[in-house]
Every structure is written in structure tokens, then in C-alpha cells.
Structure 1
Amino acid sequence: MKIGMIGTGNMGRILVEAMLDSQAISPKSLLIHNRTKNKAEKLKEAYTDIAVYDDCIELAKEANLVFLCIKPHDTFTVAKEIAPYITKDMCVVTITSPINPEQLELFFDCSVARIIPSITNRALSGVSLFSFGNRCSEEWKKTLSILFEKFSTPLIIENNITRVSSDIVSCGPAFFSYLTQRFIDGAVEETDIDSITATKLASEMLIGLGELLKKGYYTLPTLQEKVCVKGGITGEGINILDQKLGNTFNRLFQATHHKFEEDLDKVKKSIFIEKGR
């Protein structure tokens, strides 16, 4: 099977690296195209057997499975461009949350899907969020699941929880890395610890926390109970977090969903423009 990647920006590159490092696919089976060619060429430097294409149409002609790893407002322009070369036995996948499979089906007669990856997939872990089009064959559903199981945990989601699921899985690492950096900065500003030591301690703590949860030793609530001794130091810290965080995360999800609605409107306009041409 030949897999084509249109777009090798941040998430496109992460997806390529996860697939190759997990040995889910071989470099010889991978075809890539990027509007800025040097980004694609950098990937080829690391994986020399990758084929770099100057034209997304030529890539589409050669691939069996095509990933659209591009921004929402560019997706339907590219979709319209490659559609004449996509046959019914192929599959096209978008990795961006504002594009749903039914919208892709307006441009393609083949199997389509939306798969939202996470930066954690680069470490061959974490979740990938699956949504299938109405015409997606059982064979392609199975093929995609087997492919992504090599470096993630595939999870099928409904459209109504796409944004919040993506917030947790895809945006979550950025949110919690920000909180961790503030945690480190506070330690450095208020005590004699240096930034390098604090960062090392915090990083190892997060890795250990992940292992505790992964191995099922504790749930999040029971972990807090185990560490938070009544009248102890951890309890004092939890009290501060409880007082100051308030509805911060409620507001976070409100903001991401508001931006998502804006993106959905832009996507609908983009479809109207491309279908009208």
C-alpha cells in the first residue's frame, strides 16, 4: 500500500515520524508533498527512501491512502484539485477537527475519514480520534485502525464531542506543559532551586505520574487521596489551587468551542466557494 501525505508541517511531520518509527509502514511506501518543499526534503534527509513529490496531483495518482495534513481553509481547495484522480477504492483522511467526513464526501466518491492525532503519538503513545464517513468501507476502517494501533490508541468519537475530545487529546499536552512551566517558574522564583533542576524534577514527576495511571495503580482521585495527608503540606497546596483555579477550565473549554464555531463557519464558506467554482 502506498500512503500519500499532503502537508508536512507540525502534525504532518509528527504523523510521518510516528508511522515510520513504529514500523507501521516502510519509508518506501510513503509519498509526501508540501507546499514549501524544503520541509518535505528535511524529512527525506531523515528517511531517505521517502518519495518527495512536487505536485499533489501526481502524489494522488500513485497513492492508495491520502492524508490531508493541511489547514482547514486549504483543505477543500486541495480536495477539489486531486478529486479527479481519487478512485472509489482509495481512502482520503483529514487530520483537522473542523472538517468532518461528510464534508469530504462532497468532493470524493471513495472512503473518507477524519483522524485527529496527538503530539503524544510521536512517542508512540496517546490517543488518535477516529470519525468515519458514511461510505467508508469496513475494509478501510480496519486498515486504518491497524495502522494507527502501531503508535496510538484509536478511539471512535461522534461529531458532537469532536472539539472537546481534541481539546483533551490534541491540545491537552500544550495546556499541561504550560501549567507545568508555570509550576517550575513558581518554584524557581520562590525558592533557591535552579531552573534546570526544577525542570528535571517536574519532568520526571510527570513521567512517573503517567506510569502510575497507565499501570492502573491509582485513579486521579485516589492518587490525590494517597498524597494529600489531612493537615499536611500537599493539602495546603491543593487549597490554593482550589481557590485560584475556580472555573478556569470551564472558561478554557468555552473559549476553544467559540473558536471552533468560527472555524466551522469558515469551513462552510470554503465549501461554498470551491463547489461554486
Structure 2
Amino acid sequence: MKVAFIGTGSMGSLLIEAFLRSGALYPHNLYLSNRSKDKSELLASRYPGIHVSTSNANAAQGSDIVFICVKPHHFPEVIAEIRSVLLESQLVISITSPVLISMLEEQIPSKIAKIIPSIVHSVHSGTSLCIYGKRVQPEDRLLLEQLMSSISRPIPMKESETRIASDISSCGPAFVSFIVQQWVRAAVQLTGINMTDALILSAEMLLGTGRLLTEGGLTPEELQRRVAVPGGVTAEGLAILEERLQGVFPSLIEATQRKHKADQVKLASLFNNDVSAAGSTATPANGDSETET
């Protein structure tokens, strides 16, 4: 199976290395292209057998699966370059949420899916969000979900739920790590506990909490009841959180939804106005994959 990755920046490289470490793909399966060829060549030096393509079109041509791992505003340029080599039998995968499946189905003949990954796939954890276009067949879904299950738990989603699901699965590690960062800093400042010890304690706590909410079958409410004895220390802390966090998460969701909608409007304009112009240029558009999820 030939698998192309257009864009080998942060998320593209993460996915490539996760798939290789899991054994789901082998270096000789992979054809890479990137605006900065050095990034693809670095991966090829780490994993002998990887093919570094001279252009996006060369990487995509003949591939069974084409992952497009570039910033949203690079999509029209990339699509313009690879459109002529794509076939109806190929699977083209977007890993960025603002790019609608309908946008891509209007531009290329291939079967389109959207898979939103997470940084935690680098440790073969977390969920991958799987959204399928109308041309994707059951056997295609099975192939993609088997591939993603090697590094994550694939979860089929409606495209309308992509943004909020991405907030939790993909943005969530950054949001939760920010909370941990603030908590640990306060602990160090107010009590003198060692920063390293506090980080280890919090990381192990997060790992165990996740397992209780999955393998342990507890709901968040049940977990709180199990830990918080009435009148105890945990109950005091929960009261502070309940008081101070009112409105924080609705505001967070409103902000990410607002940015998502603005990105979609901008992308629609780019696809409508720039695809033809981008298709006429001879300059490869190998966007790096610092992908916004």
C-alpha cells in the first residue's frame, strides 16, 4: 500500500513516526513531500526506505491514501497541484477541521475523509476523529479505522460536531496542560514543593484519572463522589473550582467556535477565488504541516 504525506511538519511528522513505530506502515510504503525538503529528508534518514518526492503531485500520484497535513490556507494551492493526478479510487485525507469535505469533493474526484488527530497519538493514545465523505465506501472506512487504531481509538463523527470534538480531543491536551501548569506553579510558590516532583505527581494523576474514566467505567460525578468526603479537603477544593470556573468553559467553546467559523469563511473565499490561479502556477505548494485542528 502506497501512502503519501503532503506536509511533514509538526503533525505530519508525528503521524508518520507513530505509524512506523506501531508497525502499521513500513518506510517503503511512504512517499513524502514538503515545502522544506530538509524535513522530509530528515525523516528518510531516520527511517531508511522512505521515499522523498520532488513535488506534491509526485507524492500523490498512484498513492492509495493521501494525507494532506498542511495549514488550512495552503489547501487550495495543494489541491490545485495534485488535482490532475488524483483518481476516483484514491482516498484523500484532510487532518484539519476548517476544511469541509464538500469543499474538497467539489475540487477532486477522489474519496474524501477528514481525520482529526491528536498529539497524544505519539504515545499511541487518545482518539482520532473520523469524518467521511459521501464517496467513501464501507471497506474504505474499515481500512482507515484499522490504520488509525494502531495509534489511537478512532471515533466516527458528524462533520457538524468536528469543532467541539476537536476542542476536547486535539486542543484538550494543551488546555489541560495549561491548567496543570498553573496549578503546579501555585503549589511551588505557596508551599515550596519541588517543581519536578509536582509535575510528576500531576502527570501520574492525569494518567490514572483517564484510566478510571475509561477502563474503570466511572463517570466524572462518580469519581468526585468517591474522592470528596463531605466536609473534607477535596470538598473544599471542589467548592472553589465550582465558584471560580463558572463561565470559563462556555467562553472557551464560544471562542473556538467563532475562530472555526471565521476560518471556514476565509477558506471558502480562497477556494472560490484562488484555486484556478494556483493551478496555473509552476511553483510547488508543499505547505508545512503546522496544522491547526
Structure 2 length as normaliser, TM-score?
0.91
Contact 1:112 1:135 in 2 (8 A): yes
Q: Using CA pairs below 8 Å that are at least 6 residues apart, which structure has the higher relative contact order?
A: 2
Q: What does residue 8 of structure 1 align with?
A: 8
Q: What does residue 223 of structure 1 align with?
A: 223
Q: What does residue 194 of structure 1 align with?
A: 194
Q: Which amino acid aligns with 2:270?
A: S
Q: What does residue 288 of structure 2 align with?
A: none
Unaligned runs of 5+ in 1: none
**Is 1:75 paired with 2:80?**
no
Contact 1:110 1:136 in 2 (8 A): no
Q: Distance in 1 between matches of 2:147 and 2:81?
A: 26
Q: What does residue 64 of structure 2 align with?
A: 64
Identity rate, percent = 38
Contact 2:18 2:124 in 1 (8 A): yes
Q: Distance in 2 between matches of 1:21 and 1:239?
A: 44
Q: Distance in 2 between matches of 1:231 and 1:206?
A: 24
Q: What does residue 267 of structure 1 align with?
A: 267
Contact 1:41 1:52 in 2 (8 A): yes
**Is 1:183 paired with 2:173?**
no
Matched pairs, number: 277
**Is 1:155 paired with 2:118?**
no
Stretch moving more, 160-169 or 135-144 = 135-144
**Is 1:40 paired with 2:40?**
yes
- Secondary structure of the residue aligned to 1:92 is strand
Could you report, residue by residue, the CA deviation over 1:24-53 in whole angstroms, capped at 9, with x for unpaired residues? 111110111110111112222321221111
User: For 1:49-60, what aligned pairs fall within 5 Å after superposition?
Assistant: 49-60=49-60
Q: After the TM superposition, which segments of 4 or more aligned residues of structure 1 sit over 4 Å from their partners?
A: none
Q: Which amino acid aligns with 1:227?
A: V
Q: What does residue 89 of structure 1 align with?
A: 89
Q: Distance in 1 between matches of 2:275 and 2:68?
A: 18
Stretch moving more, 140-149 or 166-175 = 140-149
Q: CA RMSD in A?
A: 1.3
Q: What does residue 291 of structure 2 align with?
A: none
Q: What does residue 249 of structure 2 align with?
A: 249
Q: CA deviation at 1:113?
A: 0.7
Q: Which amino acid aligns with 2:158?
A: E
Structure 1 length as normaliser, TM-score?
0.96
Q: Which amino acid aligns with 2:164?
A: V
Q: Which amino acid aligns with 2:9?
A: G
Stretch moving more, 197-206 or 210-219 = 210-219
Q: CA deviation at 1:74?
A: 0.5
Q: Which amino acid aligns with 1:190?
A: L
Q: CA deviation at 1:275?
A: 4.3
Q: Distance in 2 between matches of 1:275 and 1:75?
A: 9
Unaligned runs of 5+ in 2: 278-293
Q: CA deviation at 1:182?
A: 0.6
Contact 1:67 1:93 in 2 (8 A): yes
Q: What does residue 117 of structure 2 align with?
A: 117
